[in-house]
Amino acid sequence: MTILLLALLAQVPLERIVSADKEPGNWLSYSRSFDGQRHSPLTQINTTNVANLKVKWAYQFSKPGNQTSPIVVDNVMYISGPNSVAALDTRTGRPFWQWSRPIPSDYQSIGFGRTNRGVAVLNDMVYIATLDCWLVALDARSGIQRWAVKAGDYKLGYSFTVAPLAIKDKIIVGTSGGEAGIRGWLDAYNARTGKQEWRFYTIPGPGEAGHETWKNDAWKTGGGSTWVTGAYDPALNLVYWGIGNPAPDWNGDSRPGDNLYSCSFVALDGDTGKLKWHFQFTPHDVHDWDAAHVPILFDAEVRGRKRKLIANANRNGFYYLLDRESGEFLSGRDYVKQTWAKGLDDSGRPILLPGAEPTAEGTIVWPSLNGATIWFSPSYSPLTKLYYVAAREKSSKYFKSEAEYKPGTFFAGGGEQNLDPNDEWGAIRALDALTGQQKWQFKLLTPPWAGLMSTAGNLVFASSNEGNFFALDATTGKPLWDFQTGSAITSNPISFNIEGKQHIAIASGYTLYVFGL
């Protein structure tokens, strides 16, 4: 049986990922499907029986920092940690193989933890991006390294925490490091050879469109990291990716202008990396409200016309709906308490309120530095037509200070102070995907740090900082089941079949839990 399972590992051509809905028992990409919806079509676990979920097996990680979202292909699970990958038998959790790469002794994570969010699979290989800036291809059958390419210099603050995205014959990967004053980029590598096919700089240089939004030489250290996995539309051949904050974070004096393409979604040609369109959520950001989010793609009728759409509940506190062919702003509204903007104008640009910028004395603003939500995945259900988001109700006191760039060091120009924890809380919110109007919420004691998954069993799976993994009715938000994992949860759930039976998985602390009926 082991030989058969390992043989099946080499059977993941692009067509399978494109047609992910035809095999709902697998989880073939970071968000399961290219549309970023993190929705499982499986129905075996549903509102009538979810209360009977039990732990079937657990897998122990060797290191902390487990924000991973596993990949499942034909009864084999690929799971990552910082600079490590394992292939597990989904029936038992027993490893088929394990791979790791040492983290250099002089490596420093600047502005983020030592973590990894997942792998990509394509054809007969598994791909991981490492903290020390290597993209590595592993043989899916054995875990043996097939190739590795160095994509950046960790000594300058570049790092990889992102789960790669496999499209066509390419592996797309983005960099962390915005707080170190890097110049961000998104890369595409040949999946077979590791040759770089294209690079898109998120901070445009001289002669590139958008460079006029930077003054002096600020673009050279402009930030704009790409540390969360994007989405892809195969029909349009467009890659959609969220871009991080400008640098320095809280002092914008040295970088007057809108600072493109920070805090934006970009749509790039999958073959060339050329920019098709962009939309900037927070021009000239001074609160570290980057747009490092998973975009959600869906189709619906808007204003009497069928449209291809892209949606985002943004870190800045506003929900946005755009046309994903053109980037046109269609609608938007706030979905948490925010005190920095009066609203959005007809183009989607924020209408700023006075007195919200950081100062030397400190300025209290909602939402906090970590935003109304952040990197962890939202979800969209094509059944309920609702957009689900783990929302954070929290303010911060923002400070501004001088910023001096030194390669490989913290380049922020200020900071934040947390306020009374009794005034902060969280919620799982269901929004009308076309308008952003709240339909229901399930309150949490503290602001969450974990992603969501909806299912065709009319469920939404979510987590809390207190270690609870739970299921809600996707239509009403009614709680139906919960399990105390014993550790704060900072990851995204998935769902898959084991020999025809639906299961749910979530990483918590040092442990991956797999649940079934």
**Any idea which residue has 């791979």 for tokens?**
99
Distant-in-sequence, close-in-space partners of 345: CB < 8 Å, separation ≥ 6: 351
Which residue among the candidates 233, 288, 334, 473 is catalytic per the annotation? 288
Backbone angles phi, psi at 212, to 5 degrees: -65, -10
Closest CA to 176 of 165, 163, 189, 160: 160
**Any idea which residue has 């839990």 for tokens?**
513
Under 8 Å between Cβ of 318 and 354: no
Query: Per the structure block, which two tokens stand in for 386?
Result: 């609702």
Q: How far apart are CA 369 and CA 285, in angstroms?
A: 11
Closest CA to 388 of 427, 425, 424: 427
Strand partners, 307: 300
Q: How far apart are CA 181 and CA 214, in angstroms?
A: 14
The DSSP bridge pattern shows strands 145-150 and 134-139 to be antiparallel
Q: How many residues does the chain have?
A: 517
Query: Per the structure block, which two tokens stand in for 216?
Result: 């002096």
Q: How many CA atoms lie within 13 A of 199 on its CB side?
A: 12
Q: For this structure, is 217 an active site residue?
A: no
The CA-based angle 438-356-405, given to 5 degrees, is 115
Q: How far apart are CA 53 and CA 315, in angstroms?
A: 33
- Judged by DSSP in three states, 423 sits in helix
Strand partners, 79: 86
Which residue stretches of 236-391 are H helix? none
Closest CA to 161 of 80, 73, 100: 80
> Quick count: other Cβ atoms within 10 Å of Cβ 107?
16
Q: How far apart are CA 92 and CA 94, in angstroms?
A: 5
Distant-in-sequence, close-in-space partners of 464: CB < 8 Å, separation ≥ 6: 426, 444, 445, 446, 448, 450, 470, 489
- In three-state form (DSSP H/G/I as H, E/B as E, the rest C), the secondary structure along 291-310 is CCCCCEEEEEEECCEEEEEE
> Quick count: other Cβ atoms within 10 Å of Cβ 276?
17
Residues annotated as catalytic are: 288
